[in-house]
Amino acid sequence: MKNKLTLALDKEGFTLSDTQIDKFVIFSRLLKEWNKKMNLTAIEGDEEIIYKHFLDSLLCLKTGYFRPGQKVIDVGTGAGFPGIPLKILLDDQIELTLFDSLQKRINFLQLVVDELELANVHCVHGRAEDFGKITHYREQFDLVLARAVARLPILLELCLPFCKVGGFFLAMKGPEGSKELEESNYALQQLGGNLKKVDKFFLNDNKYERLIINVEKTGKTPDKFPRKAGIPQKRPLISLEK
Ligand code: SAM
């Protein structure tokens, strides 16, 4: 794992210390070990873990929005993606909240955070629809990240309430992101978001195409959002008007 990982990181333009590479190796061991006991990820082979989890997560850094001292939340982090790889690289430069609605995954993440000795990380169990209304979380984060949680119009309602005005939400998508973006004008307008840019990346000799949709929070999210748990998914903010 260590050799393959070092080569892949180098190929994709990331330079890491030995300690950081060791942390990725320990993380992949824990992922494989705990995946036998609970459903963490469908991705298990070394190459897939390296590209589809680790390097994919690190692509966020190429958007250019990360700054020292930022508060970052990873919504629907699952087994820790993109949050954990970013924290391994950025170390104490960011304060990170790993947020998920499944308690078992949060327990796993706390174990990973302890084993990797990652400081300034909060593992929080809850639903975005509930926590997006709590003062301590609402409009408190400089950067909000999410990968593989919901289609964009739904995801915007789950994520934008966490974002400070002037902050950014990065939605990590595959090529399907373009289509989802076409359906998202109404949600953006309702929630105080503005599309800033879409970054397209290719990983592993163009095997994987990835999109990161960069949304700036330009205005406060009205108090009525997010709606109650389950409603954003049942009635996404998609205008019926053409
Ligand atoms: N982001 C990870 C990744 O890319 O590997 C996990 C993706 S997994 C398909 C989606 C995760 O989002 C699950 O762990 C699920 O529990 C969480 N999730 C779904 N809806 C959520 C909600 N409303 N609030 C918080 N977490 C949610």
Ligand 1, pocket-test mutation among 81, 100, 211, most atoms within 8 A of CB? 100
Rounded CA-CA distance 223/236 in Å is: 17
Domain spans of the chain, in order of start: 53-234
Q: How many angstroms is it from 129 CA to the middle of ligand 1?
A: 13
> 241 falls in which pLDDT band (50, 70, 90)?
low
> Quick check: CB of 101 below 6 Å from ligand 1?
yes
Better-scored residue on pLDDT, 95 or 206: 95
- Strand ranges, E, within 55-153: 70-75, 94-100, 121-125, 141-147
Ligand 1 contacts CB of residue 162 (under 6 A)? no
Average pLDDT, the chain: 95
Q: How confident is the model at residue 40 (pLDDT cuts 50, 70, 90)?
A: confident
- The CATH architecture assigned to 53-234 reads 3-Layer(aba) Sandwich (3.40)
- Written as six digits, the tokens of 45 are 């082979």
Helix or strand (DSSP H, E) at 214: strand 208-217
Give the ligand 1 atom nearest the CA of 129: 23
191-230 per-position pLDDT tens digit: 999 999 999 999 988 889 999 999 999 999 999 999 999 9
Cα 140 to ligand 1 centroid, rounded to whole Å: 20
Cα-Cα end-to-end distance for the chain: 51
pLDDT in tens, 123-174: 999 999 999 999 999 999 999 999 999 999 999 999 999 999 999 999 999 9
